[in-house]
Structure 1
């Protein structure tokens, strides 16, 4: 309801502004008919177009910044994060997720997520750089040996 009122207000202000501009800067082409001719590409129209474009682009950038800044959903927890991911094919991948003190190895495919393994001791420390595939193979070989 608020959006409808806002759109109505904008269009009514715009139409009254254009009407006032037409009356003030108009030249009568034919006085007997009362037709009004106004040059469509004058400096005022071009500057108005440029100013409107700058305002719209500025509004887009402002909204994008606000969305990026305040996109956090309520209830998000920083202790749940993706440590590493390994694509297996175009649509499947293996993801190592840090959930509190545990690390979970998840198989992710379109439409489903499967728990492959759960580790109490971390396979990879959060923020540690390294070759995930090699460490995953080492961890899987340790699991098979046990």
Structure 2
């Protein structure tokens, strides 16, 4: 290797070292960390907002008031995995037991009785949800005894 080639190699190494170690040309790490913090905070804020909106929709419901063929009129929770629901289908009320594995028809209320019960439902205050179910269940039990 000639002296001129060696000097060129040494000067390029020195130049490279001076660029890396020169604080005037090094990127500002404080500015970089501020940008990363700002992006991370925005990302966490957006994810939090999405979760909050999802919870609000689930909590307060987003129910259309269209006439459906199947309408759940009342529900009574026995435990987290079991419940009894009252479903209005084809002018009849069906009492259905629901578990994690299956749904079982417990009782069918005839058209005449369902019309009577549903007309009473309009007179009941909306903030007493389970009282309607309790009244229907008690009237059904009374009619079975008779």
Query: 1:62–1:117: structure 2 CA closer, same or farther, 3 Å change rule?
Result: same
Provide the TM-score with structure 2 as the length reference: 0.51
Q: What is the CA–CA distance in structure 1 between the aligned matches of 2:144 and 2:70, rounded to whole Å?
A: 24
- The counterpart of 2:93, out of the listed 98, 103, 117, is 103
Q: What is the CA–CA distance in structure 2 between the aligned matches of 1:127 and 1:47, rounded to whole Å?
A: 60
Partner of 2:11: none
Q: How many residues align?
A: 108
Question: Which runs of 5 or more residues in structure 2 are unaligned?
Answer: 1-13
Question: Which runs of 5 or more residues in structure 1 are unaligned?
Answer: 1-29
User: 1:83 touches 1:126 (CA, 8 Å); kept in 2?
Assistant: no
Query: 1:55–1:106: structure 2 CA closer, same or farther, 3 Å change rule?
Result: same
Provide the TM-score with structure 1 as the length reference: 0.51
Per-residue deviation, residues 12-59 of structure 1 (Å, max 9, x unmatched): xxxxxxxxxxxxxxxxxx85424264342x245414531453256336
Q: Which has the higher strand share?
A: 1
Q: What is the CA–CA distance in structure 2 between the aligned matches of 1:61 and 1:89, rounded to whole Å?
A: 31
Partner of 1:50: 38
Q: Which has the higher helix share?
A: 2
Question: Is 1:142 matched with 2:143?
Answer: yes
Partner of 1:35: 20
Q: Mean alpha-carbon deviation: is it higher for 82-91 or for 106-115?
A: 82-91
Once superposed, which parts of structure 1, at least 4 consecutive aligned residues long, lie more than 4 Å away?
62-66, 126-130
Q: How far off its partner does 1:102 sit? A: 2.0
RMSD: 3.8
Q: Which has the higher contact order (CA 8 A, sep 6+)?
A: 2
Bigger CA radius of gyration: 2
